[in-house]
Structure formats: structure tokens, C-alpha cells
Chains A and B, each alone.
Chain A
């Protein structure tokens, strides 16, 4: 786990956050010196609580990765599977939901930002029609 992401991916996320209806502001909260991750704090409008987002660079996000996530990724955080072709196992969703942590791809994050209890949100990528 680290920052092994193409530079356009964080740029694309930042540009989407700037346009998102529920995003008041965002900032990078990882330390460029001590942290080896992309971590964002997103402040939301309409009384919604802030969300911490961790961008994972894994191709295949596993339970092992989940249990080694950065310390700042705890209750009400969102783990973004940031590589367009990356995948994650359904078994992680169940474990993460119990910890009140969301996991998903870009579209899932965009949708989850509308919800206070975003870990309960079922994004299109996990709906049965897929």
C-alpha cells in the first residue's frame, strides 16, 4: 500500500470534489514526509459529517490490506479503490460495514457523499443488476 497511483487519479478526484453538490471543502491530510498514502478530509454541507477518504493503490484490495489500513482510517472513513481497473472482495464490505467504514470505487464515493451513514449505502457497482 502506498502512493503508487498515476498523478491524474488524485487530480481527477479533486476536480470531482470541487463540483460535488455536498462538498464544502476538502484538504489533503496525509503528511508528505511521514505518510505513504493519499488521505483526504472532505467537509460536507447540509449538516453532513466530514469524511476521511483513503486512496488505495492496490490492484486487488484484500482483507489483509483492510487490516493494515492507515491508523487515521477508522469509523466513518471511506476507502477508495482508486485504480480504475482495481477490484475488491465482497467479504471486505461486510467487515468494513461493521466498523462503519465504506469501501468502493469512484462512483461509490460520489454517491456515498450524499449519505450521513454512507457505509450503509449500496453503490451501483454492488447492486444485484451487476
Chain B
């Protein structure tokens, strides 16, 4: 659609561009500058217009003074005072999310990541496609899920959308993924207000999760340290331990309370499995002592080989240690 260019239109557009961005800041600065000018200009004029003549024993001083000086100082002071008050009020009322801008998606990722983690946790625990095989379980699942998606996921999504809208520059690759995420957020919200509306065509884009996880990855993760520790601690049981994996927040250097790990052993005898449970218990205690973090350890025996495969499939990403 073309817009008709008129002189008035151009002038208004120019005026809009000048006034709209940070209008309040410009107003405060104008008020402050005006106040300083009013209060100080008499002093400047007096300084510039004073004339002193010294000739022999004669001393002549000429200067201008005005009775309106006190009025100007009063007006100037009121303007300075007002600008300070407005500035303070603005700082108090300012909502941080409303002004924070992000130069790139990479910079926004650290703020998006906790919101996505929260959504993922809720979805994993309460989301649809649960494996409940009982009507009562499904009802419980459904009720909690319905409540949580309205009360937590939608507000989290709104915040993600707000952050995405404040990213100044997106690469071409990022733009297409972000667009998919925005479509998902809108469709999911619509589905929450109208359950008959299906968002199957706009499901959560895994590529967006990949991107955010990659960007929010901490360079100083301790995976190597944990891996070495696990290898060393389990070296005595090399004949029993088949494989060891680390997964979850530790992969991104964001483990706050625990580190997730899986051990698959080759044991079949119940007595041996029971004995290995003591080993895993000791391992957890030793890890907590050495790293001040819990080791959330999942141990599978050969009897549970199928469960192990299923569990590994569910995990988004893992790092093989042994």
C-alpha cells in the first residue's frame, strides 16, 4: 500500500520521529535545560555586559541589572525541580521489561532460557501424551495440565514473545525460526482460550530450543571435571558398568542444585543389583561432598534394558562418559 506524500505528511512524520522515541527523556532534558537557562542567563548577561574602566586614579564600572531577575530565577528553579521530580517518578514507574532491548538473539537467550526450562518442566511432567494407562491417571493429568498451561505456560510464552520483539537484529536463519516460535505462541494461546482450536500445525519448534540452548550454553561447564570424576569413581566396577551418560542442565553449565547422570550396568542377579544400589548410594554421597551438588543418578540393570533404552530416547541431549 502506498502512502500519499504531502508536505504536511512529511512534516508530521519528521515530528513524530523526533518526538516519539524516548519522548519522556527529551521532555525531562528540555525542562532541565530550560530551567538552567532561566536561572542562569541573567548571570551570563551580567558577566558579558559589565564594563570596567581603570584610568589613572579613576575607576568606572558599568553593568546591567534587571528587577525581573528574581522572577526568572524562581521560574528556572521550578523547572529544574519539576524535571527532577518527573525523572524520579519515571524511574519508579518504569517496568524493566518494557525498556530492555537486546542487540541480538544470542544476548536474549539467557533471559529466554529459564522461561523455556520452566515450560519444558511443566510439559514433561503434566503435558499430553503421558503414558498413563488408567482413566483416573488421565483425569488427574488432564486437570493439572489444563490449569498449568493457562496459569504458567501462557504467561511464560507472553514473556518470551515480549523478549523476542525486543531483539534488534536477527539473522536470516534466526528470523525464520523465531517466526515459527511466534506462530506457536499465538496458536497455543488461542488453543488455551478455545480448546477446539487445534495448534497441531504450529507445534513447539524444536529448532528454536536448539538455538536458545546453543546460545545460552556456558563456556565454563564442568562436564570434563564430572566425567573424570565418574570415570575414576567407577573404575573399580569396570566389569559391571556398561555405560555412563551425563544429561540435563550440566551440559550447559547451568546446574544449580544437581547433576543428572545415567549408569547402565550388566547385572541380572537381584542380589548383585541390590549390592550395586549401595555403590550408587555411596557415589551420590561422595559427589555431594566433592562438588556441593546432588548427583541425580539413574541406574538401570540388564533386567531393565528396555527401560534404559526408553529413558535415553526421552532425553533431549546427553554426553557419553563411559
Contacts and interface: CB of A to CB of B under 8 A. Distances in A.
A34 interface: no
Nearest to A8: B144
A89 B125 contact: no
A2 to B, nearest CB: 9
Chain B interface size, as a band, is 35 or more
Contact of B130 (A9, A64, A84, A110): A84
A63 B299 CA distance: 8
Interface stretch (B38-46, B133-141, B190-198): B133-141
B125 A107 contact: no
B140 A64 contact: no
Interface of A: 6, 8-9, 12, 58-60, 62-64, 67-68, 83-85, 87, 89, 91, 95, 105-108, 110, 123-125, 130
Contact of B144 (A6, A87, A107): A6
A120 B310 CA distance: 27
Interface string B130-154: 1111111100110010011000000
A124 B135 CA distance: 10
Contact of B135 (A9, A12, A107): A107
Residue of A12, A95, A107 with most partner-chain B CB within 10 A: A107
A125 B274 CA distance: 26
B277 interface: yes
Contacts of B273: 63-64, 67
A113 B124 CA distance: 29
Given A84-B141, A85-B132, A63 B124 contact: no
A123 to B, nearest CB: 8
A18 B43 CA distance: 84
Given A62-B300, A63-B301, A110-B136, 6 more contacts: A8-B144, A68-B277, A87-B131, A95-B270, A106-B136, A107-B135
